[in-house]
Amino acid sequence: MMLRTSASRVLDDSDRDEVLALLDTNPVANVFVASRVRSVGLHPTRLGGQMWGFGPRGALTSLCYAGANLVPVNAGPEAVHAFADRARKQGRRCSSIVGPAPAVELLWERLEPHWGRARAIRWSQPVMATTQKSPYPADPLVRRVRPEEFDILLPACVAMFTEEVGISPNGGDGGALYRTRVAELIRIGRSYARIDDGKVVFKAEVGAVTPQACQIQGVWVDPALRGHGHAVAGMAAVVEAALSCFAPVVSLYVNDFNHAARAVYRRVGFHEVDTFMSVLF
């Protein structure tokens, strides 16, 4: 029988140092949550959700970011039980559960009877990382996207999201929040693309950044141009830029069934370091 030693609690800015110390124990797996906390702190309004903690003040053992995504951090069975209990009582507010596979699988096992069926489940998503420039030559035409190129980039971003997630980001609010995020990544210099004659050939973003690691997301090649090496050369360019500008470790995660993408990332120099799981609503 599992013992419930304590319930979870909502953290605030007074817990920031302890939260960051826990996140920094696994900077690659925790880069998304750590990036959010470092950027805006733990106040729910700024964070865009709550941060739940498990363990007494001064001895936190686990976290769960509860915003647009539900993301468990360093969560063993007792912590998952506590987080699931809070999530069940609160009701589903997230569009996905994502994080280390063992914790997400157990969390979903406890929440599914209350939240109902998921739209899709990605049971195994290898987390990959590299600390070195790619041995493959970088595409010299891949560069930071300029603000005035937003309208050129946006259709490629929408196509990538729809292909990857299975639904359009233009639902609900008409895509306003998604457009804001795309524009923000361009503004802060974390959106990269090769644009030929006003058309996106390759694009990717550095979606999360901490001093220890960064995470690439949104990798996409024009379907008409796939199979010509644009993904490998483009990723080599983005990795080089990310190592130079953002962090000493560059990471990403990918669906296990996407064999073509995994082959590209291995060729660029990434290796598998962990496994995520995602539950999509």
Q: 3-state secondary structure string, 18-59?
A: HHHHHHCCCCCCCHHHHHHHHHHCCCHHHHCCEEEEECCCCC
Q: pLDDT tens digits, residue range 110-144?
A: 999 999 999 999 999 999 999 999 999 999 999 99
Residue of 249, 270, 280 lying closest to 29 (CA atoms): 249
Q: pLDDT tens digits, residue range 82-100?
A: 999 999 999 999 999 999 9
Residue of 43, 41, 99 lying closest to 69 (CA atoms): 99
Q: Is 109 a residue whose pLDDT tops 50?
A: yes
Averaged pLDDT for residues 143-152: 98
70 token code pair: 């539900």
- CA 205 distance to own-chain centroid: 11
pLDDT at 6: 66
3-state SS, residue 80: helix
pLDDT band (50, 70, 90) for residue 203? very high
Q: pLDDT tens digits, residue range 237-274?
A: 999 999 999 999 999 999 999 999 999 999 999 999 99
Report whether 33 contacts 70 (CB < 8 A): no
Residue of 240, 207, 239, 234 lying closest to 221 (CA atoms): 234
Question: Which residue ranges form the domains of the chain, and what is each CATH number?
Answer: 9-117 (3.40.630), 130-274 (3.40.630.30)
270 token code pair: 């990434």
116 token code pair: 């109902």
Q: What percent of the chain has pLDDT over 70?
A: 98
Q: Is 56 a residue whose pLDDT tops 90?
A: no
